[in-house]
A and B are shown apart, each in its own frame.
Chain A
């Protein structure tokens, strides 16, 4: 029985459960009950504040105690495309736990039971399902593989093996993927950032490394970009990381080409190609979207444009005579 059938059965059975109406009793009851007025609530809240403060102090002490308690670290292998899935693996490279980081991950994993399976079997199933559901395609071919654990040697070995498996699996679907792989040890700061923004630690790590070499960006500028967008940005800015391996070229088919951008801005400014004195464009990020910054001049003015790299929408423009 698959999940769809289970859900259908739950709906069918619960839909046939009814409770007898006690509407008359309810309508009679409310005749003797007055509605709470907003000013009553304000008074109640003031009284509760003292109790809440004491409780907060106790809770803080528990949390602080918990944070400083020594913890055992397991190896985890995480995959991020848009679905974000993390596998906890043991020394025998068998999956001990599967963690979904977003709703897309639930869809990808819905019909699977990966606990106690070999890591390579799990990788095959996850990547195959991401492909089947269209999360990985010709236009979105970047996959981020992140390995977290204590021993650097084991991490690197796991990373290489999984990244190579992902590449091979997608080759089997005739897709030339771009696999971005990285490894790291546990970091409380990154864990908290992941929690704050609702993304995986792997994506946090990738963004932090990108900001490390491009300090003009703020973390919040990049947080909503897809892995393919981040991969494109890294490629475009020709950034080389020591600790990140990128195998394969990311797809650009979802983005506007340079010529398309040029046609768009020239049409908008009503400038012909022959009138151009200078022209340059650069891929950049604005409000969590990839944009082209375009600057050009003709005999009469200088023009600055920002164009969304995916939709082609002109985000902003300025003309100086």
Chain B
């Protein structure tokens, strides 16, 4: 190519030729259309299932995209990637396995973290509760030993009891709300992941479609 050939208007006008040649190129490498369509259907089904299971939008999309891309890479013949066919297959399997295993592990880690925090809070509230109850009982015993004459001790005994029961009540209500929230959080994610795993299994022929 000499300097005179660098005529950009001509070059850009000719660029449309590239489109027809690329169409021809991809026509010569048709791949496995039936399997690609199956992967597309699976991807749509995964997305639908995840939405139906009310999984948060971003999470559903990232799960679906990652797994569906891996399915597609696994199912189609990735002729355009570098390396031998065997190396490409190995890479595709690795990606698929990573996607199938890391997502549930990540959710498990989140749930575990929540459980640890829950336990710390439980122990804290329980300690406060026990301390309060012990103080209340101490005042009650003092009141009983005074023969019930010391009315001020009786009134003083009720206040710590109320104070002692308050943390316990707060703890109980809090734990119920936390458990409900955790269930709400976990259930859609579990359902979405189950749907994804099912689709992957069906596509890879590990399980029959039921």
Genuine A/B complex: no
B→A interface (CB under 8 Å): none
A→B interface (CB under 8 Å): none
